[in-house]
Copies of this chain bind each other. A is one copy, B any other.
């Protein structure tokens, strides 16, 4: 654990803005089972077994198991009211509980897990209950739709019956705050919007978490997109402010805004620095100001934003290009082959342009001029060294790699004008060698680029196809990872550990509400 820079005042302020969580009791809807099926998404399909009433009548003996379907993705605390039947409970009850966001988590044996992320993210518990009849509420918060319950031990004298089971959900988002879409909105968009909102709701806790199952941290890449959706839906702008102060208040030794923060036991920055993520502090601050006009925060946190530019600029080589290396210095997307150089250069320019807006808004003329000059140099360097005129693509790294990420980010950074950008995207679609996109996060930026190029219909089509594809594949909330060509894709070595309610995937609502479902008036 490296030393950090802490601003005690900001951390204290951020802690004062911890939101109260809304709670709701949700009951299971039916009994189901997860069935292996090669034609189903990830090889598992949920099959109804019985209406929920059967659950309250069923006698569970040692070795029995049932799976409850709560009908929707939930984040919360589970309460089980347990009854011994046949005779007295003369020994503790031993249960195994497995919580699944997806059918695969209920179907597959966690013992087979071989991913490189800790198996501890898989949500299962062995619970010993000393007193029956009794009601227990598990200490830990789970993210799930399905709950598999296996009776490991009763005794020769008694069996088990479930008297009551419910989940007390928690979120800092109020569904009541969300404006309904115009009545004219088509059903597919309504559904895409609804699932986006549920995704954001379940990630909105005392910070904007990336995923409530995994890894529950506050990541700035996710925060930026969550904030954009939040402005259009829940309007919990105080929570964005809290997160900005947390990122500003706990930074890496060199002053960098970290890629993510832990909230407990006390908020502190993780040791991960990512080039693009640090720059998103500027972007997120500017977006926040645009949504709220909270000038106090803009002024207070401007020095941190400015410092991120200065730090990022130090990575430029003599040509004015971001130095590349073999480490994980920049995120952009999950793809093992993806080279980050061009994307990093683009995010630098993109970030500085938001920095410029802030300097202008705050009337800091000197800063404004400095930033303007730096943007010009970075853009010129990008066009000179990263644009391959012959291929008509931005290239990245020594291998002159062409990727979707590089093109999309150069367009978002407005390094080329709209006409060039439009042609570039057209060309990209026909170029199969380009490193593709793997996450809804990268797909968001592609849609944003299409919109920037005025290709509104293509953008909408992309949303319908990609996020709509997740819905067809069974999404209740949008997923961290979705590759329609490889549905078990995981950067972690197992799709069991993927997050199936993930912040960065909730942006359809932002697009729909800003561009596609606006009233004519």
Interface residues of A (CB under 8 A from B): 1, 87-88, 90-94, 116-121, 125-126, 128, 130-131, 133-134, 139-140, 152-156, 214-217, 262, 264-265, 270-271
Contacts and interface: CB of A to CB of B under 8 A. Distances in A.
Contacts of A216: 130
Contacts of A155: 117-118, 120
Q: Which of A116, A118, A126 has the most CB of B within 10 A?
A: A118
Contacts of A130: 140, 216, 264
B90 A215 contact: yes
B153 A120 contact: yes
A220 to B, nearest CB: 16
A427 to B, nearest CB: 40
B271 A118 contact: no
Given A128-B140, A153-B118, A153-B120, A133 B91 contact: no
A87 B118 CA distance: 14
Nearest to A264: B131
A213 to B, nearest CB: 11
Contacts of A94: 118-120
Contacts of A88: 1, 262, 270-271
A128 B119 CA distance: 11
A156 B115 CA distance: 11
Nearest to A84: B1
A415 to B, nearest CB: 35
A91 B155 CA distance: 35
Contacts of A91: 117-118, 120-121, 214-215
Nearest to A119: B153
A152 B271 CA distance: 24
B265 A134 contact: yes
Give the secondary structure class of A's interface.
loop
Contacts of A93: 120
- 9 closest cross-chain pairs (CB), A and B: A91-B118, A118-B155, A120-B153, A92-B120, A94-B120, A131-B264, A126-B126, A118-B153, A91-B120
23 contacts: A1-B88, A88-B262, A88-B270, A88-B271, A90-B215, A90-B270, A92-B118, A94-B119, A116-B156, A118-B153, A118-B155, A118-B156, A119-B152, A119-B153, A120-B128, A120-B152, A125-B126, A125-B128, A128-B140, A130-B264, A131-B264, A133-B265, A134-B264
Nearest to A216: B130
A389 to B, nearest CB: 43
Contacts of A152: 119-120
A498 B217 CA distance: 46
Contacts of A134: 264-265
A87 B156 contact: no
Contacts of A119: 94, 152-153
A271 B116 CA distance: 52
Nearest to A92: B120
B154 A118 contact: yes
Nearest to A132: B265
A155 B262 CA distance: 15
A265 B117 CA distance: 41
A125 B216 CA distance: 25
Q: Which of A116, A120, A130, A153 has the most CB of B within 10 A?
A: A120
Nearest to A90: B215
A4 to B, nearest CB: 11
Contacts of A214: 91
Contacts of A156: 116, 118
A213 B8 CA distance: 48
A91 to B, nearest CB: 4
Contacts of A271: 87-88
A130 to B, nearest CB: 6
A1 B85 CA distance: 8
Contacts of A265: 131, 133-134
A84 B140 CA distance: 19
A274 B88 CA distance: 17
A125 B214 CA distance: 23
A120 to B, nearest CB: 4
Contacts of A262: 88
A134 B140 CA distance: 14
